[in-house]
Chain A
């Protein structure tokens, strides 16, 4: 059974770069069936999608974050990573990594985040 685990600093200074890694176990990140994504949740707020990456390195990002965002994949380590530059206090959140699958119903396949990591809290503060 696939499991995801986020890792990285819990405290980042304003204007610096937030860097997180998601380690995948129990399955291969190189599967052609999945994208791998990042989602965050600010304290007391809803979920915000950040971006996704495919094992080939293909990415797509939230339009509101794409100017500061890089998501990459390391298939040799079965990991994918997030880098968010020029952070401010508004980037304080729990960051989740997740596997995006395409379960099918009635012959049509629909994207959904099927497996999630436990999340890691990142605080932006000096």
Chain B
């Protein structure tokens, strides 16, 4: 299986701030990397697919980059509703795998 590892496990930031979350795959997955947002008590929501393409309706303050094994999710101008857990997921193989999640908290 392809493993994906996120860092950090958690971080805190202020409203209006900017954060970056990293996802690393255990092998080259090209651009087959998705990002999801999960608010407390809710199901995950697709934010970004193909490493950098925003899902319809996702605000432009979210951006993704990377290819191969290293990927980042950046959120600029943090809003109160952005404080949530973020998951990356590789879809290169048929057996998809998720990262362990990164919890973003308000400072």
Contact B50 A110, beta carbon cutoff 8 Å: yes
Within 8 A of B (CB), among A24-75: 45-49, 60, 62-63
Contact B1 A110, beta carbon cutoff 8 Å: no
| Residue-wise interface mask of B (27-53) relative to A, using a CB-CB cutoff of 8 A (1 in contact, 0 not) | 000011010100000111110011011
Chain B hits for A108, CB < 8 A: 31, 50
Closest to A94 in B: B43
Segment from A9-17, A85-93, A112-120 that makes contact with B: A112-120
**A105 contacts chain B at the CB level, 8 A cutoff:** yes
Chain B: interface residue total (CB-CB under 8 A): 26
User: A-B contact count, CB below 8 Å?
Assistant: 65
Tell me, in angstroms, the Cα distance from A92 to B4 when the chains sit together. 23
A46-B98, A47-B98, A49-B96 known; A112 vs B87 contact (CB < 8 Å): no
**A96 contacts chain B at the CB level, 8 A cutoff:** yes
Chain A hits for B97, CB < 8 A: 49
Q: Which 8 residue pairs are nearest across A and B when measured between Cβ atoms? A: A116-B43, A105-B50, A111-B91, A47-B98, A105-B53, A46-B100, A112-B49, A110-B50
Given contacts A47-B98, A118-B42, 9 further A-B contacts (CB under 8 A): A47-B87, A47-B101, A63-B95, A96-B43, A105-B31, A108-B50, A111-B32, A114-B46, A118-B43
7 A-B interface contacts by CB (under 8 A)? A46-B98, A108-B31, A110-B32, A111-B91, A112-B49, A113-B36, A113-B44
